[in-house]
Structure 1
Amino acid sequence: MGCKLPDADKIKTDLNFELGDYNLSMEKAKRDNKHIMLHFYANWCPPCKRMRKVTFANKSLVEKLNKDFINIKMNVDTQDGRMQAARFGINGFPVVILMDASEQVLYKHVGFLEASVLIQEIDKIL
């Protein structure tokens, strides 16, 4: 039996996630002309916890995301998170969406995602 991970929100990461609501974060991305990394998760979701602990702990990935992206995390157990998940047609977790500043989806992945795969997708976009 494996060890139980804490809620996804309680797992530390050096990735700079925007606090506040989706619309304010999108305004910042447009103002700063940055790409967006949108991460949908739930605190109770084991693959979500693993992404936070493993994928978002990868130093190379964190550096790329912090430099070139506005990183938004959306907890699907909140009203804003549910609303945005419905907007993007999300029904499984975790989800990573990479978008440009005009909110055009450039990449979408449902399920656990290795850092190396996400880095490759980011490199294609940048």
Structure 2
Amino acid sequence: MLAILMWGLLFNEAPFYEGSVNDVFDKAKQEEKVLVVDVYTEWCGPCKLMDRTTWKDETVRSFFEEKVIGYKIDAEKGEGRDFARKYKVSGYPCLLIFNAKGELIDKRLGYMAARDFLNWANNSLD
């Protein structure tokens, strides 16, 4: 059982909130935290690469746990379609950063390695 738990901790993606778009924005507001949204599609190669690398990086995981709320949304399914349209997502992955009030702070298109993501996200938070 311990081995299964350790495997899950080591190989899961960054701690992304699971719930609706409204729920995650409410959570960010309640916790007064910044929200990082990863807009992806199932067929997107760079999105899959971020899942395998960036989101599993220990420093990125710590950043999510300490500073922000993470959220992933598929732009081609459910409420992801309206979300992608609303924020004019034109390619994938598309990363968006919102302040606790739900205002868009920054937007970035394309794959980012862990260090690049952390540099971008920290600069956006300043």
Identity score, percent: 23
The residue identity in structure 2 corresponding to 1:114 is A
The 8 Å contact of residues 40 and 93 in structure 1, kept in 2 or not, is answered as yes
Q: CA deviation at 1:34?
A: 0.5
Shift of 1:113: 1.1
For the pair 1:86 / 2:79, whether they are aligned, the reply is: no
8 Å contact from structure 2 (residues 55, 114) kept in 1: yes
What is the TM-score when the length of structure 1 is the normalising length?
0.85
Aligned mates of 2:88, 2:40 — CA distance in 1: 14
- 1:16, distance to aligned residue in structure 2 (A): 1.0
For structure 1, list consecutive stretches of 5 or more residues without a partner in the other structure: 1-11
Matched position secondary structure for 1:24? helix
Q: How many residues were matched structurally?
A: 115
Q: Structure 2 regions of 5+ residues with no counterpart? A: 1-10
Equivalents in 2 of 1:84, 1:57: separation in Å? 25
Runs of 4+ in 1 over 6 A off after TM superposition: none
Structure 1 residue aligned with 2:31: 32
Match of 1:102, SS state, is coil
Cα RMSD of the aligned pairs, angstroms, is 1.3
The answer to whether the aligner puts 1:47 opposite 2:50 as a matched pair is: no
Which structure dedicates a bigger proportion of its chain to helix? 2
Does residue 63 (structure 1) correspond to residue 62 (structure 2)? The answer is yes
Quote the Cα distance in structure 1 between the aligned partners of 2:76 and 2:12: 20
